[in-house]
Amino acid sequence: DFLYALENDIKPAFGPTSELLDQYQCRGITIWGDHVRHIIDQGKLLINQAKSPSAAGLVTVLLEGAPNAGKTALAAHIAKVSDFPFIKVCSSEEMVGFSETAKCLSIKKYFDDAYRSPLSCILVDNIERLLDYGPIGPRYSNLTLQVLLVLLKKEPPKGRKLLVICTSSTRSILEELGMVSAFTTILHVPNIRQVDEIVNVLENSDVFSNDDINQIKKEIGQRRLSVGIKKLLGLLDLVDQAELKDRPRKFINILQEQKRFVEQGN
């Protein structure tokens, strides 16, 4: 496993990091509401803190939210915006089938490489997958947990600067594991919940006419939803296969079938 890892961990599957960052936001970043703006602004502030020569050398941020909320795309966006000379993505996608040890050594390598660059950014995607978290048991890789707990606290060598951007959809688990307190800052990535926010997304797609959108707006009415941007874009793909005239109906139906309408206050 060890050799297997060593040979593989440096070759991202599909081209260099910048391509990967683009792929993570392949459907762009729709500014569907204030939350999105806020996260992007905070990202810029953290980039500055990481660059500041008088501040500590390590800045760590956790982007946490429900599955499909758009965490990875936003993390990739911030990483790209930083324009640091060293940017790497550390993701379980690159480590499928790695042994615990191989995973840990691979993670360590990302940080060791970063320590050698004056200004670095590491995107650690989906921490719970790196931890091999399995809800029945529950189970997790304690080896990886220890490695992350150490690396998220270890200052880079004198004069080196490191910004670590992590994503996770299981914040409560990270809290139990004593990991949340290791972060400098925590940003919540919310689901879309307001009809206006939905409309912003629909207007950005080619699936509906303006009339359709108005119809949908009326149908939703005062009801609150909760749907991640990735899920929403997927639903639009499905609806896109239906006849033009059936689409608004079908869209509302699927939202209902998938129980996306929530009691107010949730």
Ligand X SMILES: Nc1ncnc2c1ncn2[C@@H]1O[C@H](COP(=O)(O)OP(=O)(O)OP(=O)(O)O)[C@@H](O)[C@H]1O
Where along the sequence are the contacts to ligand X (CB under 6 A)? 25-30, 32, 36, 67-74, 126, 153, 169, 228-230, 233
* DSSP per-residue letters across 107-171: HHHHHHHHHTSSEEEEEEE-HHHHTT-BTTTTB--HHHHHHHHHHTTPPPSTT-EEEEEEEES-H
Q: Between residues 33 and 223, which has the closer beta carbon with respect to ligand X?
A: 33
Q: Are 51 and 89 spatial neighbours (Cβ–Cβ below 8 Å)?
A: no
Q: Min. distance of Cβ 192 from ligand X in angstroms?
A: 9
Site string for Mg ion, 39-78 (x = CB under 5 A): ---------------------------------x------
234 binds, among Mg ion, ligand X, a copy of itself, none (CB under 5 to 8 A by kind): a copy of itself
Angle between helices 195-204 and 229-239 (to 10 degrees): 50
Using CB positions, name the residue nearest to Mg ion: 72
Q: Which does 30 bind (CB under 5 to 8 A by kind): Mg ion, ligand X, a copy of itself, none?
A: ligand X
Residue 259 backbone class (left: φ over 0; alpha: ψ -120 to 50; beta: rest) = left
CB closer to a copy of itself, 83 vs 196:
83
Q: In b/e form, how buried is each residue of 31-61, taking b as 16+ CB within 10 angstroms?
A: ebbebbeebeeebeebbebbeeeeeebbbbb
Binding site for a copy of itself (CB under 8 A): 1, 13-14, 23, 26-27, 45, 48-49, 52, 54-56, 67, 92-93, 96-97, 99, 101, 104-105, 108, 115, 129, 132, 134-140, 142-143, 145-147, 149-151, 154-155, 157-158, 173, 176-178, 181-182, 184-185, 206, 233-234, 237-238, 240-241
Measured from the CB atom, the residue of 14 and 264 that comes closer to a copy of itself is: 14
Q: Which does 97 bind (CB under 5 to 8 A by kind): Mg ion, a copy of itself, ligand X, none?
A: a copy of itself
3 binds, among Mg ion, a copy of itself, ligand X, none (CB under 5 to 8 A by kind): none
H runs (alpha helix) in the chain = 2-8, 17-24, 34-51, 71-82, 100-115, 127-130, 142-151, 171-176, 195-204, 210-220, 229-239, 247-257
Q: What are phi and psi of 203, to 5 degrees?
A: -60, -25
Q: For residues 83 and 93, which CB has a smaller minimum distance to a copy of itself in the complex?
A: 93
CB-based contact 132:111 (threshold 8 Å) = no
Three-state DSSP class for residue 204? helix
CB of 229 to ligand X, least distance (A): 4
Q: Whole-number minimum distance, CB 168 to a copy of itself, in Å?
A: 13
Residue pair 155/115 in contact (Cβ under 8 Å)? The answer is no
What 8-state DSSP symbol labels residue 73?
H
- Binding partner selected for residue 187 from a copy of itself, Mg ion, ligand X, none, CB under the kind-specific 5 to 8 Å limit: none
Site residues, Mg ion (CB under 5 A): 72
